[in-house]
């Protein structure tokens, strides 16, 4: 398993804290915080940064992801557990519909107006 990057972890944490992740996101977040506390301790920099990120601030999420990646670089057990958590959670969130979007137009399609998106609000055409 490749080591996690700050960007990959930050992206997943942002998704989990967004409303689109729903119950799957809440469950994954709770699992991550419990695992981090258990393996690193309640006062570890990664743990406290993760707690600070719970409010959804992009800067706090980035700091938490950085601290967790740093902790993983120094703790093989945490690295293995975090990698497994990331892999499982990414799959769970995509299954729940909050992950990536894959839109495509193929064949001999002749498209006049096309919108490809994950979540769309009100749309009007003029």
Report how far residue 107's alpha carbon sits from residue 47's, in angstroms, rounded to the nearest whole number.
50
Distance CA 95, CA 76 (A): 29
Nearest to 56 by CA among 7, 92, 28, 16: 16
Residue given tokens 């729903």 in the structure block: 22
Query: What is the predicted pLDDT for the residue at 42?
Result: 95
For residue 52 the two structure tokens come to 């600070």
CB neighbour class for 70 (10 Å; exposed up to 12, middle 13-18, buried from 19): middle
What pLDDT shows up at residue 124? Answer: 67
DSSP symbol at 99: S
Tokens linked to 110: 């002749």
What is the full per-residue pLDDT of the chain (126 aa) written as tens digits?
467 889 889 988 988 887 656 777 888 899 999 999 999 999 999 999 999 999 889 999 999 999 999 999 999 999 999 999 998 888 777 654 444 555 566 677 777 776 666 556 666 666
User: What is the structure's pLDDT at 74?
Assistant: 95
């Amino acid at each position: 398993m490749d080591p996690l990057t700050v960007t990959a972890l930050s992206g997943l944490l942002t998704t989990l804290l967004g409303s689109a992740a729903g119950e799957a996101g809440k469950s994954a977040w709770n699992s991550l915080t419990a695992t981090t506390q258990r393996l690193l301790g309640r006062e570890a920099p990664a743990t406290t940064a993760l707690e600070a990120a719970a409010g959804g601030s992009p800067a706090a999420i980035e700091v938490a992801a950085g601290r967790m990646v740093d902790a993983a670089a120094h703790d093989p057990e945490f690295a293995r557990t975090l990698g497994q958590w990331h892999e499982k959670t990414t799959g769970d969130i995509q299954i729940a519909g909050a992950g990536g979007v894959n839109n495509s137009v193929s064949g001999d399609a002749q498209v006049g107006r096309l919108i490809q998106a994950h979540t769309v609000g009100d749309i009007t055409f003029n």
